[in-house]
């Protein structure tokens, strides 16, 4: 992977996170209840934090070609999609989509898998930093 690809992905992740934050604040505030907005905002928060995590990986990769970035990058990307993505879908499920029970039950196990992926990204980043 080119060194800049992580920076591009991280930057776009954070831009989308800011956009989703604005959507939650302005467009969804009248469509979703407080619990749903909390889920939405939690997805935004974790997306932004882990976008910064990806930038950390990118900086380490840029400063040292030997830095093993693959597993932290993989787990951060996977975690952002699974964790934040599932929270976004769960949040809007009772909103303008109505309640899709199948969607709700399919997404319930996805969120913790995404959380585990985010944790693994930080663990692999720490492991690789020790060897750095």
Q: What percent of the chain clears pLDDT 90, i.e. is strictly above it?
A: 67
Considering the entire predicted model, what is its pTM? 0.90
Q: d(Cα 9, Cα 24) in Å, to the nearest integer? A: 22
Count of other CB atoms within 10 angstroms of residue 66: 8
Tell me the pLDDT tens digit for each residue of 54-100: 999 999 998 988 888 999 999 999 999 999 999 999 888 875 556 66
At residue 98, the pLDDT reads 65
Tell me the pLDDT tens digit for each residue of 97-115: 566 667 777 888 899 999 9
Q: Are 95 and 72 a contacting pair, CB within 8 Å?
A: no
Mean pLDDT value across the chain: 90
Residue 3 pLDDT > 60, yes or no? no
Give the DSSP letter of residue 65. T
């Amino acid at each position: 992977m080119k060194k800049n690809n992580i920076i591009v992905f991280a930057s776009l992740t954070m831009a989308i996170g800011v956009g989703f934050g604005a959507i939650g604040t302005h467009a969804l505030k009248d469509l979703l209840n407080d619990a749903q907005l909390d889920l939405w905002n939690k997805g935004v928060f974790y997306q932004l934090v882990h976008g910064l995590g990806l930038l950390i990986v990118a900086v380490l990769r840029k400063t040292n070609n030997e830095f093993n970035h693959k597993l932290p990058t993989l787990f951060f990307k996977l975690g952002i999609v699974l964790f934040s993505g599932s929270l976004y879908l769960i949040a809007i499920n009772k909103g303008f989509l109505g309640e899709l029970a199948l969607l709700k039950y399919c997404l319930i196990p996805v969120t913790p898998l995404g959380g585990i992926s985010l944790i693994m990204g930080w663990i692999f980043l720490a492991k690789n930093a020790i060897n750095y």
